[in-house]
Amino acid sequence: MRKWRELFNVSQVKLAEEMGISPSVISDYESGRRKSPGTQFVRRFVETLISIDEAVGGHLLHELSRIAGIPTEAILDVREFPVPVSAQKICDTIQGTILACPHLLNRNIYGYTVLDSPKAIVTLSGMDFMQIFGTTTERVLIFTNVTRGRSPMVAVRVTPLKPRMIVLHGPKEVDSLGVKLAEIEQIPLVLSNMKTTNDLIAALKELYQSMISK
C-alpha cells in the first residue's frame, strides 16, 4: 500500500481524508500493525488514488497505462511532465555529474522512469525492456542500485528505441565502456550524487509537483 500511495504522491492524511477514515488506519496497514486489509478496503484505496490523480489531470494514470503488464517491482517511479524540462534542469535536480554528451543537455525531457537496476535485469524480459524504452524515447531513464553502469548501457545499446537521457545512481565510478556506449549513442549520461534512492525520487517528485501546482 505504501508503495502505491507514494507512487501517486499522496500523503497519508490526504488519502485518509478522501477515504473518510483516520490517518492512523493507513499508517497501521503500511507498518504491518494491522492485518492485511480486505478486498473492499483495497478497492476503496485504489479508487481513491485514481480519483485523486484524475483531479489533477490524470498524468500518472496515463503513464501507468503505457506500461501495463510490466512487473511493477522493477519500477520505482514514473512521471509525465505537463511541460518539457531541459536535461540540464534534470541534471541539477538530481545533483548530477555529466559523464557523456554534455553538449546535448539542452534537450527537452518530457518525463522520467526510475528503475531498480538489479530487479529490472532479473524480472524484465526483452519485450518488457522494449516497452519501457518505447515510453521513454523523449524521457530520462534512471537506473538505481547500479554497481558499475555497464549493464544498463548495454541494454540501451541493443534496443532500437533510445531514451533522451540516462541517469545512473549507486556507483562511485562508472565503467568506461558504459560512458563510451553513451557517446556512441549520443545520449547524455549522468551520475546522480544523491545520497539515497529515496532522496533521488523525492527530488524528482518535488520538481514534478512544482510544475503541476502552477
pLDDT digits (tens, 9 = 90+) for 16-49: 999 999 999 999 888 888 888 888 888 889 889 8
Q: Please count the CA atoms within 13 angstroms of the CA of 168 that sit on its side-chain side.
A: 28
Could you tell me which residue, 25 or 9, shows the higher pLDDT? 25
User: Whole-prediction pTM value?
Assistant: 0.71
C-alpha closest to that of 178 among 133, 136, 137, 147: 147
Which secondary structure element, helix H or strand E, spans residue 96, and what is its range?
A: strand 96-100
Rounded to whole angstroms, the Cα distance separating 58 from 71 reads 21
How confident is the model at residue 71, as a pLDDT?
A: 59
> For residue range 101-112, what is the model confidence (pLDDT) as tens digits?
999 999 999 989
CATH of domain 2-55: 1.10.260.40
Indicate if the pLDDT at residue 189 is higher than 90. yes
Indicate if the pLDDT at residue 142 is higher than 90. yes
DSSP 196: S
Could you tell me which residue, 44 or 213, shows the higher pLDDT? 44
The type of residue at 52 is I
Confidence of residue 132 (pLDDT cuts 50, 70, 90): confident
How confident is the model at residue 4, as a pLDDT?
A: 81
> For residue range 171-188, what is the model confidence (pLDDT) as tens digits?
988 999 999 999 999 999
Sheet holding 140-144, edge to edge: 75-86, 108-116, 140-144, 165-169, 189-192, 96-100
Q: Three cell numbers at 38?
A: 480486505
Q: Where are the domains of the chain?
A: 2-55, 60-212
Cβ-count burial of 192 within 10 angstroms (0-12 exposed, 13-18 middle, 19+ buried)? Answer: buried
How confident is the model at residue 56, as a pLDDT?
A: 79
CATH class name, domain 60-212 = alpha beta
Indicate if the pLDDT at residue 213 is higher than 80. no
How confident is the model at residue 172, as a pLDDT?
A: 86
How confident is the model at residue 159, as a pLDDT?
A: 78
Confidence of residue 66 (pLDDT cuts 50, 70, 90): low
CA 145, distance to chain mean position in Å, is 13
How confident is the model at residue 156, as a pLDDT?
A: 84
How confident is the model at residue 135, as a pLDDT?
A: 59
Indicate if the pLDDT at residue 209 is higher than 90. no
Helices (H), the chain: 2-7, 12-19, 23-31, 39-55, 59-66, 87-93, 117-123, 126-134, 150-157, 176-185, 197-212
Indicate if the pLDDT at residue 69 is higher than 70. no
